[in-house]
Amino acid sequence: MSSIITYCSHCYVKNRMNLSRPPQEARCGRCHHPLIDLTPVVATDANFEALIASDIPVVIDFWASWCGPCLQFAPTFNAVATELEPRFRFAKLDTEKESNLAARFAIRSIPSLLVFQRGQVIAQRSGALPASLFRQWLETLPRAS
């Protein structure tokens, strides 16, 4: 039986997901909600380590409310998240509220997209991009299994 580790969209606890069953049927061992929601979660200092530990690549949008391009990009990010979960997981990180995390990854321009897998940054780019290019870029990244 093959399984992978990813976080619960509701309580952010790490879960083992059995790959032989449809991912939409997976439930969290702790809170019993569906493990995978199709909308991005909010990354915070409290849940960050659990999010990035995922075997499934996690795409994090580093943004801020004062940043026009970030706000313009938000609907694209949400739409692609709905389309590509759980092939990828998606989260948003407010760089004003989570300035420690923004500093840790030396975020200088936003929006910045960082993709994490098993605790490591595996890809990074900055600037808003259209959905087609966003998808294309993600397709170049490794799969979870």
Q: Let me know if 67 is a catalytic residue.
A: yes
Instruction: Note whether 5 binds Zn ion by CB under 5 A.
Output: no
Sequence-ordered list of residues with C-beta below 8 angstroms from that of 27, at least 6 positions apart, any chain: 33, 34, 35
Rounded to the nearest whole angstrom, what is the least distance from the CB of residue 6 to Zn ion in the complex? Answer: 11
- Considering the complex, state which of residue 26 and residue 113 has its C-beta at the smaller distance from Zn ion: 26
Segment interacting with Zn ion (CB under 5 A) among 4-12, 97-105, 111-119, 122-130:
4-12
Binds Zn ion by CB under 5 A, chosen from 17, 26, 28, 58: 28
Dist. CA 9–CA 112, nearest whole Å? 22
Q: How many CB atoms lie within 10 A of CB 17?
A: 23
Angstrom distance (rounded) from CA 93 to CA 115: 12
Active-site residue list:
67, 70
Q: Given the rule CB under 5 A, which residues bind Zn ion?
A: 8, 10-11, 28, 30-31
